[in-house]
Structure 1
Amino acid sequence: MQETYGSGRGAFDPELTVAELKSRNAVLFWTATASSLLFVVALVGVVLDPRTVAGGEAVWFKPMRYAMAMALFTGTLAWLTPHFSLSDRLFRGASWAVAFAVVFELAAIAGQAARGVDAHFNHPAGFDRLVYLLMGVVIASMTLLVAALFVAGTWTGFDVHPAFSLGITLGGLLFVVGSFEGGVMSALTTHTVGGGYTLPVVGWTLVGDFRVAHFVGLHSLQVLPLVGYLSAIGGQQGRIDRPRRLVWLVGLAYTGLLAGALALALYPVLG
């Protein structure tokens, strides 16, 4: 499907955007919709449920964050996957596999929250340990699948403007790097190995906290394809002379941001 770079009000009509997303990948569109609904439910839980988990965090705060992240992730894939050179069978299979992984992950996190238990870490044995291990297997398998899709897409080429194509490639690469930083946290059985300045809202520490680098890496999947898309529009409209160069510059800057966040996370260990 060749990307259309429209102009005018219709290109930014929310109703048209939702309809377009659904037509591109209905499976991932509905997965994103379900994730968004869970976000609303968890938000209500944060307000109404006084329970907390270790560290004093509201028991529904993690399901809320994960639901938002998964809605963005599956919505982004719904936008991008039609540009991958995939057979119909592989397209459907990959979409359903990602949808299953996302639904399982969110169901596990929300289910543990309903029980008043943190879904991650500090589960040496029993049912909670089993849930944690299954979550790790499912999310690692999904990450490998997404990595394979982006490698295959880059190898065969995306049917879009070269600047947009480059943004998809760089975003997919850094997304995979950010995803496997979650594996580092699992191996360490903690997300924080230091202390220092605490970031507002999320409560993460700037130094010694792998969640910062994890967040930066994961959201490259939205940032860099969007940069590529907008650069392609600017190039076609004559506003940007070298759109691919702009994507490279932003991609290198974003890589530096990710590397810096990872260095700060590792500093207490290696410093």
Structure 2
Amino acid sequence: MSSWRSWHRPLVLFTAAMAVMTVVSAIGLIADDRVLAGAAIWFKPFKFAVSFVVYALALAWMLTLVIRGRRIGWWAGTVVALSSLVEMAIITGQVIRGKRSHFNHATPFDETLFSAMAVTVVILWTGTLVIAILLLRARITDRASAWAIRSGVLLTLVGAGFGFLMTQPTPEQRAAGILDTADVIGAHTVGVPDGGPSMPLTGWSTTGGDLRIPHFIGMHALQLLPLFLVALVCLAPRFPRLRDPRVRLRLVLVASGTYAAVVALVTWQALRGQPLIHPDGATLGAAALIVVASAVAACFWALRPAPVQQRPYSHHGSGAGPDSGSDFDSDSDRSQKELLS
């Protein structure tokens, strides 16, 4: 397994800083009883710090897979780390001031800070896009690993893109006709004001749609799809079918398609102003369709047995017969070692 010392250094350092920030924010949640927009004031930096830890660490590892364009990848990763650091600094600074960081147009200073955050988000997204392009071009021998990583980073770009959608004025804000003087422009929620009843831990609205849901799910495809493949490799010793790299590839493709469908579903649900925990018949029907389609694809396509290839017996050499799986097993072992390294 490649040493962590070969991982992208600025992203690793940023990950360490965000791990510290997670602890600081957790202490703030306990020691500071201030509430902002219906939530504990340190909840936002806590969530962002945790998210940045897993996001930056995944990119730091993935950049070790980039051979062609390695220097470009280093600079792209550094840009992601620096822009994320600036965004986190603004969020934390606003918490200390007791002010909103997102959608805040109350004063020229607050508006400037929010505009600066918007710029950092664009830079972060662009840096991730460059890394995604490099990963699409990278020569990753194990095809299942390649598709898990590439699908993950592409879905992450889609998820991150929902951040831009949240910054747009809501229909209610447009209807009020006071965009030039409004203190808040943009929202996480759809159909209800921000700061209403919400789910524990996530803070997602329980009374309206919430664009943070597809944003969150999409962003973390970067970690979940590669982890899905790692799980398949770990289960392979117990389930012989999973030792076939072709089966793992097909399962990764099914998982990627399912993940994309789930992102689309929760986006559609949020845009209709519907809470995640109160789906209507149309949402439940679409979810059932995704489950059935994924199960059928997994059972009847991904897990189908490989065709038996008859080979003539050899009177010379190892004596491998038509049932010999020596070539298959060696390919499978190489693929598993490649993924885990």
So what's the TM-score if we normalise by structure 2? 0.68
Q: CA deviation at 1:86?
A: 3.9
Report runs of 4+ in structure 1 exceeding 6 Å deviation: none
Q: Matched residues in 1 for 2:22 and 2:12: separation?
A: 15
Of 5, 8, 11, which residue of structure 2 is paired with 1:28?
11
Equivalent of 2:150, from 158, 169, 172?
A: 169
Please name the residue that 1:78 is paired with: 60
1:157 to 2:138 alignment: yes
Change (3 A) 1:160 1:74: farther
Partner of residue 64, structure 1:
46
Q: Say if 1:165 and 1:228, in contact at 8 Å, map to a contact too.
A: no
Whether the aligned pair in 2 keeps the contact of 1:163 and 1:244 (CA below 8 Å) is yes
CA spacing shift, 1:52–1:86, aligned 2, 3 Å:
farther
User: Judging changes above 3 Å, is the alpha-carbon distance between structure 1 residues 85 and 187 closer, same or farther for their aligned structure 2 residues?
Assistant: farther
Choose 200-209 or 216-225, whichever is displaced more. Answer: 200-209
Equivalent in the alignment of 2:268? 263
Report the identity percentage: 30
**Which structure dedicates a bigger proportion of its chain to helix?**
1
The aligned residue for residue 15 of structure 1 is none
1:254 paired to 2:251: no
Find the residue that maps to 2:190 and give its secondary structure. coil
| Preserved contact between residue 104 and residue 114 of structure 2 (Cα < 8 Å) | no
Q: 1:147 to 1:235 in 2, by over 3 A?
A: farther
Decide which moves more: 187-196 or 175-184.
187-196
- Larger CA deviation: 194-203 vs 141-150: 194-203
Matched residue, 1:110: 92
Q: Does the Cα contact within 8 Å between 1:163 and 1:228 map onto a contact in 2?
A: yes
1:91 equivalent in structure 2: 73
State the Cα distance separating 1:220 from its structure 2 match.
Answer: 0.6
Greater mean alpha carbon deviation, residues 42-51 or residues 232-241 = 232-241
After superposition, give the CA deviation of every residue in 1:138-194 in whole Å (9 maximum; x if it has no partner): 11121122112212321x234341101100111011100100101100113001113
* Matched letter for residue 107 of structure 1: A
How many residue pairs get aligned? The number is 251
- Counterpart residue identity of residue 147, structure 2: L
Q: Aligned partner of 2:166: which letter? A: M
- Residue 164 (structure 2) aligns with: 183
Q: CA deviation at 1:239?
A: 4.7
Does structure 1 retain, via aligned residues, the 8 Å contact 2:80–2:123? no
Structure 2 distance, partners of 1:98, 1:122, is: 24
Pairing 1:39–2:44 present: no
Structure 1 residue runs of 5 or longer lacking an equivalent are 5-18
Is the 8 Å Cα contact of residues 213 and 262 (structure 1) preserved in structure 2? yes
Match of 1:9 in 2: none
CA distance in 2, matches of 1:232, 1:162: 13
Confirm or deny: 8 A CA contact 1:166 1:228 kept in the other structure: no
Q: Secondary structure at the match of 1:187?
A: coil
State whether residues 15 and 53 of structure 2, in contact with CA within 8 Å, keep that contact through their aligned partners in structure 1: yes
Aligned to 1:7: none
CA shift digits 1:206-233 (9 cap, x unpaired): 5411011111011111101222344456
Residue by residue, what CA displacement relative to the aligned partner does 1:79-102 show, whole Å, maximum 9, x if unpaired? 111112344432331222111011
Q: Is 2:189 the counterpart of 1:192?
A: yes
Residue 54 of structure 2 aligns with an amino acid whose one-letter code is L
For the pair shown, which has the larger CA radius of gyration, 1 or 2? 2
Ranges in structure 2 where 5+ consecutive residues have no aligned partner: 170-185, 275-281, 283-341
**Corresponding letter in the other structure for 1:25:** H
State the distance in 2 between where 1:198 and 1:54 align: 11
